[in-house]
Each structure stands twice: as structure tokens, then as C-alpha cells.
Amino acid sequence: MEKALSHLRVLDLSEQIAGPFCTKLLGDLGADVVKIEAPPEGDRGRRLQPFAHDTPDPHGSLVFLYLNTNKRSVTLNLRTPEGIKVLTELLATADALVESFAPGTLAALGLDDEALEQINPGLVLTSITPFGQTGPYSHWKATELVEYAMSGVMAISGTQGREPLKHGLSQAQYCGGFGGAIATLAALWFREETGEGQHVDVSIQECLASTLLGNSTQYSYAGVVGGQSPSEGSSIGQVAPCKDGYIVGHMLQQRRREFIELFGVPELASPEFVNRRGRGGSQGKEMDALLLPRYAQWNKFDLFNAANQRGLIFGVVQTPKDLAECPQLQSRGFFVPVEHPTLGTVRHPGSTFEMSETPWSLDRPAPLLGQHNDEIFCEELGYSKREVARLRKQGVL
């Protein structure tokens, strides 16, 4: 079935999380994504825990499984001239190349911007790195934690007086992946208009820094340096405990009556609570004293349902188990079964948006390493089986 991006071929040299998430976004929308992995072990993402059944197996990384749906895999050793030659043949057939090497790596392989333009003038090269291709930090080392620290997001997170915090799992990498997908699709649109390819440079630090709308303008509008929040005032707009878990309360002005009725807190009708701005200070403490004991009487899903049915837009702290069993996600068909060659049927998280003409679908599970060597090298590029065997013996693939 034709999907939104079925006309695109994307070659993927990236590894681990940011680049693979970018190409997953494109592949899930129909692009023909070909992972090009270095033999013998391929994408380092194949070694990321957690593993299926906690067995460290190259086919069992659940991170890899999740991020590499709708992709094919070939192996190529780019440290050999033959490997570069085969890559060049693939590049001539591609619309985009996504990579996340340290800046300068492609150039060192003889594949700088000028060389790529010679091979395929319409090619879009998308590079996703911690700090981008240029600037004094562009050659610095970074991990998820370092990116969070330097993005500004950490400075406003965590409790005052304690070390600041990052989000759980690998959000900086996912943010970089989103950035890469946007930049690739916009550059391909530019190519449709002009015939020209180009190089797009995505910085993970800047992706995260892009999320600081209020914090950034606190300084540019008023010279205010923002930091971590005080811990009082958790009953509204923050995580608050209830009987069997946690919820997030919200009280909009236009729903104050419903809020007051639901929790039996007529005190909140008084003017001092009306124009509450910011958190902390005596108002936060007073609200907490009123509301936290009342929240504590409710189970989290009862409270979440009761509040939302009255137009109070509460949130509920859900665990992965809660999401796996969620009636809303069930109704939206969010989890889809996928047949995997070694793991059997696995329910995968699915689409984040629905398109009426080009529905999302999971057509392939994450590929085994080099699973499509024959399909691509022989059937598409025209190498004979004997040539492929020779290249394999020489360590080219």
C-alpha cells in the first residue's frame, strides 16, 4: 500500500538511538530505509539493554527492536575501498543519507559534501550529532547526560538544593531523531522545488534547548536567571501523591466550580486563590494543605476519570504496565503485533498520528544483521552471488 513517503529511499549509516529514531520515523511513513552496518557486529544499538528475556543476543536488544522497524539491513565495511565503492553505488540510488559520525568522519572517508554532490547532486545528507558540525564544541564528546546538562533543560529540573535531573531513558537522542526527520523532509521538499540536494546539520544540544520557551525568554525579556523550582505547590500543576500512586492536578479558572465541588474545598472560591501566578510562597503551601489530603483519598485512575469527566484536565502518572493495558491506547489500536524471526510475535508501540489517506503500518520487524545483503547487492545492484561471497571473504561486507 502506498504510504506518504513511499517514493523515498534513505540510506542510514547511523547507530544507537538518535539517527535510528530519525530513520524509523521516515521508514514508518513508508520510506525505503536501508541500514548500512559495519561487519561483524553492526549497529552498536544491537548491544543496548534491555534484552528480550535478559539474554544478550545480537537479535534481542529491545532498544534496537523498537527503533529499527520498517528497515532493511546490509553490511559494508567502509574502511575498505571496495566498501566505499559499493556505498557510492547505493548513494546514486538514494534520496537521503542519514549519519551520526563525529564531524569530519565522512570527509575522511572521501565523502565530503563536494564528493557527495558529484555522486548524486540531489542527495540530502542529514547529520545528527551532539553539538552540530560547526562551533568550538563540535568535536567534543557527549552522552545523553552531557547533552542534557548543556541544553539548559537540566538547570530547571530537580529539587532546589539537590543535583539537577535529566529525563528518564534517552530523550535527548529521541529529540535529535525528531530534528533529523524534519530537516530531511524539508530538505527533500527544497530538492523538489530546485533540484538541489544539500547538507543538513542537526544538533542534539539545540534540539533540547529549543524546548525552553519560557525559561529562555525569562532572560531575553527580563534578565531573569531561572533555576530549579521550589518544592511547594505540588497540588496544582505538579506531581502529587494519591492513594495508590500519583496524579497531576490542574485547575483552570473556567472550571473552578467543578474543581471545588469534586474535592469539597469551598475555601478555593476566595479571591486570594484566583490569580495565582507561579508557584511557591504561601499560596502553594495553603493549596497543598487543602488538597493533598483530599487527593490521598482517591485511587489514581478513579481520580483521573472523575476529574476529566468534569472537564478538569488532570494527568495520571502511568507506568509502562499501565500504558500496555490502557483502554484509550487499545481503542486507538496503538499496539500492533509484529512477527520477528527469532522472538516470535511481539506487540510493538505503533503510530503517533493517523493519516486518512496513507495509514501507518508496521511492515517489517527490525532486521537481522545483513539480512538483505542478497536482496540489495544482488537483485538491486546486480552483483553475482559469487562476487558477494568474495567480498564477504575479503571483509568488505
Query: CA-to-CA distance for 372 and 70, rounded, in angstroms?
Result: 13
CA distances from 183 to 25, 166, 186, 253 (A): 12, 25, 5, 39
Strands, E assignment, 112-197: 124-129
Contact 11, 91 (CB under 8 A): yes
- Closer to another protein by Cβ: residue 118 or 386: 118
Q: Any contact of residue 381 with another protein (CB under 8 A)?
A: no
Query: Least separation, in Å, of the C-beta of 40 and another protein?
Result: 20
- Closer to another protein by Cβ: residue 75 or 205: 205
Q: Any contact of residue 341 with another protein (CB under 8 A)?
A: no
Query: Least separation, in Å, of the C-beta of 305 and another protein?
Result: 9
Question: Cell numbers of 81, please?
Answer: 575501498
What single letter denotes the amino acid at residue 46? R
Contact 30, 95 (CB under 8 A): no
What is the side-by-side strand order in the sheet with 239-241?
239-241, 246-248, 315-316
Query: Least separation, in Å, of the C-beta of 370 and another protein?
Result: 23
Q: Any contact of residue 355 with another protein (CB under 8 A)?
A: yes
Q: Any contact of residue 199 with another protein (CB under 8 A)?
A: yes
> Of 44-52, 71-79, 257-265, 382-390, which part binds another protein (CB under 8 A)?
44-52
Q: Which of residues 126-155 bind another protein (CB under 8 A)?
A: 131-138, 140-155
- Closer to another protein by Cβ: residue 348 or 392: 348
Query: CA-to-CA distance for 32 and 327, rounded, in angstroms?
Result: 33
Q: Which of residues 297-336 bind another protein (CB under 8 A)?
A: 304, 308, 311, 313-324, 327-329, 331-332, 334-335
> Which listed residue (1, 114, 195, 223) binds another protein by CB under 8 A?
223
Contact 92, 115 (CB under 8 A): no
Q: Any contact of residue 347 with another protein (CB under 8 A)?
A: yes
Phi first, then psi: give them for residue 357, nearest 5 degrees: -95, -25
Total residues at the site for another protein (CB under 8 A)?
A: 157
> Of 73-81, 101-109, 177-185, 285-293, which part binds another protein (CB under 8 A)?
177-185
> Which listed residue (1, 118, 195, 221) binds another protein by CB under 8 A?
221
Q: Any contact of residue 225 with another protein (CB under 8 A)?
A: yes
Angle made by CA atoms 334, 335, 336, in degrees to the nearest 5: 115
- Closer to another protein by Cβ: residue 62 or 388: 62
Q: Torsion angle, CA of 154/158/164/169, rounded to 10 degrees? A: -70
Query: CA-to-CA distance for 364 and 367, rounded, in angstroms?
Result: 8
Radius of gyration of the chain (CA): 25
Query: CA-to-CA distance for 205 and 172, rounded, in angstroms?
Result: 8
Burial of 21 (C-beta count, 10 Å sphere; 0-12/13-18/19+): buried
> Which listed residue (109, 119, 182, 290) binds another protein by CB under 8 A?
182
> Of 244-252, 289-297, 370-378, 383-391, which part binds another protein (CB under 8 A)?
244-252
- Closer to another protein by Cβ: residue 93 or 228: 228
> Of 259-267, 286-294, 341-349, 383-391, which part binds another protein (CB under 8 A)?
341-349
Query: Least separation, in Å, of the C-beta of 80 and another protein?
Result: 26
Question: What letters, b where the CB count within 10 A reaches 16 and e where it falls short, cover 156-177?
Answer: bbeeeeeebebeeebbbbbbbb
> Which listed residue (241, 260, 368, 380) binds another protein by CB under 8 A?
241
Q: Any contact of residue 362 with another protein (CB under 8 A)?
A: no
Q: Which helix (H) or strand (E) holds 173?
A: helix 171-194
The DSSP string of 358-390 is: S-----SPPPPTTTTHIIIIIIIT---HHHHHH
Q: Which of residues 84-113 bind another protein (CB under 8 A)?
A: 113
> Of 73-81, 99-107, 236-244, 376-384, which part binds another protein (CB under 8 A)?
236-244
Phi first, then psi: give them for residue 299, nearest 5 degrees: -75, 150
- Closer to another protein by Cβ: residue 137 or 388: 137
> Which listed residue (200, 303, 376, 391) binds another protein by CB under 8 A?
200
Q: Any contact of residue 114 with another protein (CB under 8 A)?
A: no
Query: Least separation, in Å, of the C-beta of 272 and another protein?
Result: 12
